[in-house]
Amino acid sequence: MLATIIISLILVLVVVLAISSIVRDKKQGKSTCGGNCGHCPAGGACHQFEKIGDIKIPKK
């Protein structure tokens, strides 16, 4: 019983650390994208807009 509680707490801690790392990276402007759209299943959806200054316009 005690081992189950300890293992559960360790797993919860790992999940919390992973989520906090993702949130921290997102706030710093880092992306989880690897930058290789050819191997990404959502590669066509990410870069549909062209950024000119602060304005995003759809790519043609």
Give the residue with greater pLDDT, 43 vs 2: 2
Can you read off the two tokens belonging to residue 3? 């081992």
pTM above 0.75, yes or no: no
DSSP 2-26: HHHHHHHHHHHHHHHHHHHHHHHHH
pLDDT of residue 27: 84
What does the domain layout of the chain look like in residue ranges? Answer: 1-30
Mean pLDDT computed over 30-59 = 66
Residues 57, 60: Cα–Cα separation, whole Å: 9
3-state secondary structure of 57: strand
pLDDT digits 0-9 by tens, 5-43: 999 999 999 999 999 998 898 888 776 666 666 667 666
